[in-house]
A and B are shown apart, each in its own frame.
Chain A
Amino acid sequence: MLLLTQFVALPLFLYARAYFAAGSAYFWPLAGFLLAGLNALFLSADLFNLYVTLELLGLAAVGLVAAGGGAQQVAAALRYLFATLVGSGIYLLGVALIHGAYGTVSIEMLTPLVHVDAPRAVWFAAGLMLIGLMLKTALFPFHYWLPPAHGGAPAPVSALLSALVVKASFYLILRLWLGPFAALTTAAAWLPAIMGSAAILWGSWRAIRALRLKELVAYSTVAQLGYLFLIFPLLGADQLALQAGGMQVVAHGLAKAAMFAAAGVVIQVTGRDAVADVAGIASRLPVTLFAFGLAGITLMGLPPSGGFLAKWLLIDAALVRGRWELVTVILAGGLLAAVYVFRVLRQAFLPPPSGERRRVARRPVAMLEWTAFALAAASVLVGLRGMEIVRLLGAGA
């Protein structure tokens, strides 16, 4: 996870340097904070430290969303702030109950202590912590804050948030699920799967209907996050589902960063944000559109991309467990993703509306285009070297 963070963050920072050429005083310190929070979160080993890093991450992310400065961004940031505060507050109450029950918050010491016959307070605490984290991951019923926040923020910020920040709390859920709460959670594994399925269908539907380009990409994040939660009922000794989840995190992180980056270039060049306005960019921004398309391939799960590998492993795991309904959802999700990606691509190849001669306002900055392209290419290429990555993930887990 650390590796992924740095891999995604580096090109994005290069991208941001070019994007904010005019100067944004707030972006750099906040992005530094964000990265510090992420790294600390992946390295922490006790529940309370995790709370502090979660808050650090949340506050930095809110600051980044608000850095745009407009009324809409500030409103989105405030909504995001309340969501993340409630999420981590609920998590904190869970930590308090755990500490009250066992007198320790170290994950390592808790793991052998928690049994199926644990006191009711512990069950309650586990539920609270997981719900708090799901709120921060924007799982389906709690996703309301994500599209305005991610869609309204400047492009490099959206990319950072979608690719990394939501993954951090997912990583925590997975870690708690497999670690201290493993004894408690097996009974409730279908719940995240149902919510994940609903997220895939609803997120894709909203992405298909979205009018603005970044809104489309943000709803696609909601949908792709759903896949991550499908793995919970499939977790087992054979590690298939875990590998699928890890692969999906990597592939989606890279692809979504690329997609937001590409969307940022399009918006900067055309000066507009509507999906209908991308008409004609195919001839003007070939590299960007190619990056968008490659990222789309990963999201749809076409071979040989990383997304394909993730979905393949996921379907494999579902078949091994005989969970046909999950296979259906995964396949339907892929089709819906194809619909919203092609919606953009189709528009892009249409000729620009004849009446108005588009002001070719700004030449695209090469740095912006190529970093987006590099991220997208990486998201596809991880599929080719998939087994090495899966092994690396296995070593890290």
Chain B
Amino acid sequence: MSTGLVFACAGALLFAMGVAGVVLLEHLLRRILAFNLMGSGAFLVLVGLAQRFGIADPVPQAMVLTGIVVAVAATALALALARRLFALTGGYTLSEDGDD
């Protein structure tokens, strides 16, 4: 097992933890953090798999860079919305509407 593959497996694990966090947690900040964990996991898989034969490939690294920018933007938006929700309702949880 090469280092790249180890990274990829760790990435998959992180991704799974992130998804579970986003779906299961209640606190908004934790869910946003979990989303970031998920993104990092996907990036690790992307870079790790490309490097499993020991040769660095610039293309996936460029992709990860783009992905990080997207993730930062998404996190910023999520945080802004969470703050707004806190200002409006005084809580950091989404109330379940009870339907579905």
Residues on A lying within 8 angstroms of B by beta carbon are 48, 51-52, 55, 59, 62-63, 66, 70-71, 74-75, 77-79, 81-82, 85-86, 89-90, 92-93, 95-97, 99-101, 103, 105, 143-144, 148
Contacts and interface: CB of A to CB of B under 8 A. Distances in A.
Interface in B65-100: 66-67, 70, 73-74, 77-78, 81-82, 84-85, 88-89, 94-95, 97, 100
Contacts of A89: 15, 18-19, 35, 38-39, 42
Given A86-B35, A89-B38, 20 more contacts: A52-B66, A55-B70, A55-B74, A59-B74, A59-B77, A66-B84, A74-B84, A75-B89, A79-B94, A82-B31, A85-B74, A89-B42, A90-B19, A92-B46, A93-B15, A93-B41, A96-B43, A100-B52, A101-B49, A148-B97
A77 B81 contact: yes
B65 to A, nearest CB: 11
B74 A75 contact: no
Q: Which 3 pairs between the two chains have the least Cβ-Cβ distance?
A: A100-B49, A96-B46, A71-B88
Contacts, number: 101
Contact of B35 (A55, A82, A103, A105): A82
Nearest to B39: A89
Contact of B22 (A51, A77, A86, A143): A86
A74 B63 contact: no
B42 A93 contact: yes
Given A59-B74, A99-B49, A75 B100 contact: no
Interface string B39-59: 101110110111010000100
A144 B43 CA distance: 28
15 contacts: A51-B70, A62-B81, A66-B84, A71-B88, A78-B78, A78-B81, A81-B74, A82-B22, A85-B74, A89-B15, A93-B41, A95-B46, A100-B8, A100-B52, A143-B100
Contacts of A90: 19
Contact of B81 (A81, A99, A100): A81
A93 B52 CA distance: 17
B95 A75 contact: yes
Contact of B70 (A52, A66, A74, A103): A52
Contact of A74 (B18, B31, B85): B85
Of the four ranges (under 10, 10 to 19, 20 to 34, 35 or more), the interface on chain B belongs to 35 or more
Interface centre among B22, B35, B74, B82 (most CB of A within 10 A): B74
A129 B57 CA distance: 23
Given A48-B63, A82-B22, A86-B19, A99 B46 contact: yes
B45 A97 contact: yes
Contact of A78 (B12, B28, B42): B28
Given A52-B70, A100-B50, A78 B22 contact: no
Nearest to B63: A48
Contacts of B74: 55, 59, 81, 85
Interface in B2-26: 8, 11-12, 15, 18-19, 22-23
Contacts of B18: 89
Contacts of A95: 46
B53 to A, nearest CB: 10
Contacts of B63: 48, 99, 105
Contacts of B84: 66, 74
Contacts of A59: 73-74, 77
